[in-house]
């Protein structure tokens, strides 16, 4: 299929008798952001390593940029850029020299490429300082800038914001959005749900080497009934009488709060409020919760963890 940048079917990989990827399938449309989400040890980095030709799969077919990673290594490598989990920058070179090294190796002759990237990533001021003096956020930015030399069509980002402060994370997100705007396909692994929610067109949840869910962020959220209205009381007596009246609500004795299921729409919220008025319940605090990816993620990975423990 021409429109998919990445197509994976039946991918398996084991180290000795430890199965890391247990037959996964997915497809990434060209020009989209695909995020693979999973806890530590789920197999995210192994997937990236196979897709980027660093490892060979035990079974299954993997096509990247239209080429099979087993038979078209050169073509695949020419089309991709990879930013690994740890900033792979050269500490004893300056930022500019790191970029120039990549440009030399890719035989990119123009000097403007390096200067342009330094400006784009806001690294001009430190361009001639040794990378050993850079902060974590600067290293990640430089790492990504190095990946962009030669204009790869598909970029793999393996946990690009792990260990970054909130501001640097947002900078990285903006950079990723900019790349997508230029038509680049992004394959992103992360353990942060907000990151996937923020950036991805489609999300795959990987747990114990299997894809336990796949879809758009909206589709995933709809799978989990987690929306509710939360009523909090300060007076234990008021709490107890409300709990007795509202039989449908889930109770939490510790925080003196009740949860009433709700889809979060204006109409339903009004009917809940009207009903509370009619039965004479007045909570000290009311808040509305829509299911977020955290709910989805916990629900999806919890079950399989329980299964694994039961086994």
Partner 1 sequence: MSTISTTLGDSAIMLRRNIKHSMRNPITMFNAILLPIVLMLMFVKVLGGGFDVGVSYIDYATPGLLVMAISYGLGATATAVNDDMTKGVINRFKVMDVSRGAMLTGHVVITTVRALVACAAIVGVAFLMGFDPGASALDWLGVLGVIVLLSFAASWLTVAMGLAAKSVESAGMATVPLIMLPFLSSAFVPAETMDTGVRQFVEYQPFTPIIETLRGLLAGDPSGGDTLAALAWCVGIAVVGYVWAISTFKKRA
Helices 95-105 and 112-120 meet at what angle, rounded to 10? 130
Q: Decide whether 146 or 229 has the Cβ nearer to partner 1.
A: 146
The answer to whether 238 contacts partner 1 (rule: CB under 8 A) is: no
Told to check if 101 binds partner 1 by CB under 8 A, we report yes
**Between 102 and 188, CB nearer to partner 1:** 102
Residue of the chain from 24, 57, 64, 102 that contacts partner 1 (CB under 8 A)? 102
Residue of 15, 74, 124, 235 that binds partner 1 (CB under 8 A)? 74
Shortest distance in whole angstroms from residue 53 CB to partner 1:
7
Site for partner 1 in 264-303 (CB under 8 A): none
Distance CA 84, CA 81 (A): 10
Out of 53, 184, 185, 190, name the contact with partner 1 by CB under 8 A.
Answer: 53
Q: Which of the ranges 16-24, 97-105, 182-190, 260-268 carries the binding residues for partner 1, by CB under 8 A? A: 97-105
* Position 108 contacts partner 1 (CB under 8 A): no
Does 32 participate in binding partner 1 (rule CB under 8 A)?
no
- Alpha-helical (H) ranges within the chain are 44-51, 73-79, 95-105, 112-120, 136-148, 166-181, 193-199, 217-222, 236-245, 266-278, 293-310
- Report the Cα 216 to chain-centroid distance in Å: 12
Q: Does 84 bind partner 1 (CB under 8 A)?
A: yes
What part of residues 124-153 is at the interface with partner 1 (CB under 8 A)? 130, 146
Contact region for partner 1 (CB under 8 A) — 81-89, 195-203, 247-255, 267-275?
81-89
135 neighbors 163 (Cβ within 8 angstroms): no
Among 59, 70, 105, 273, binds partner 1 (CB under 8 A): 105
Least distance to partner 1, CB of residue 21, Å? 14
Distances (CA, A) of 87 to 134, 243, 283: 11, 53, 50
List the one residue from 22, 58, 68, 97 that touches partner 1 (CB under 8 A): 97
Q: Give the list of residues 6+ apart from residue 151 with CB closer than 8 angstroms, or none.
A: none
> 199-203: long-range contacts (C-beta < 8 A, 24 or more apart)?
199/33, 199/35, 199/173, 200/33, 200/34, 200/35, 201/29, 201/32, 201/33, 201/34, 202/28, 202/29, 202/32, 202/33, 202/34, 202/35, 203/34, 203/35, 203/36, 203/37, 203/293
- Of 25, 68, 90, 252, which lies in the binding site for partner 1, with binding defined by CB under 8 A? 90
Which parts of this chain interact with partner 1 (CB under 8 A)? 49, 52-55, 73-74, 77-78, 80-82, 84-90, 92-93, 97, 101-102, 104-107, 130, 146
């Amino acid at each position: 299929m021409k429109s998919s940048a990445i197509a994976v079917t039946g991918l398996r990989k084991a180290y000795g008798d430890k199965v890391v990827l247990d037959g996964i399938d997915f497809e990434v449309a060209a020009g989209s952001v695909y995020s693979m989400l999973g806890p530590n040890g789920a197999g995210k980095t192994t997937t990236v390593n196979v897709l980027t030709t660093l490892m060979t799969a035990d079974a299954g077919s993997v096509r990247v940029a239209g080429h099979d990673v087993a038979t078209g290594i050169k073509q695949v490598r020419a089309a991709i850029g990879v930013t690994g989990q740890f900033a792979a920058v050269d500490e004893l070179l300056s930022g500019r020299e790191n970029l120039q090294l990549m440009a030399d190796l890719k035989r990119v002759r123009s000097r403007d490429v390096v200067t342009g990237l330094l400006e784009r990533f806001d690294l001009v001021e430190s361009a001639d300082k040794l990378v050993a003096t850079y902060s974590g956020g600067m290293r990640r930015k430089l790492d990504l800038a190095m990946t962009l030399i030669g204009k790869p069509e598909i970029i793999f980002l393996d946990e690009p914001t792990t260990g970054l402060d909130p501001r640097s994370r947002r900078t990285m997100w903006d950079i990723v959005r900019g790349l997508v705007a230029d038509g680049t396909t992004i394959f992103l692994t992360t353990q942060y749900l907000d990151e996937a929610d923020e950036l991805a067109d489609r999300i795959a949840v990987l747990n114990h080497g299997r894809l336990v869910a796949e879809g758009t962020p909206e589709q995933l959220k709809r799978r989990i009934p987690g929306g509710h209205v939360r009523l909090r009381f300060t007076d234990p007596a008021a709490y107890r009488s409300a709990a007795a009246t509202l039989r449908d609500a889930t109770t939490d004795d510790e925080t003196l709060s009740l949860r009433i299921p709700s889809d979060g729409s204006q109409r339903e919220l009004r009917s809940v409020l009207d009903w509370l008025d009619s039965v004479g319940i007045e909570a000290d605090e009311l808040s509305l919760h829509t299911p977020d990816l955290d709910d989805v993620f916990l629900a999806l990975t919890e079950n399989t963890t329980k299964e694994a423990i039961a086994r």
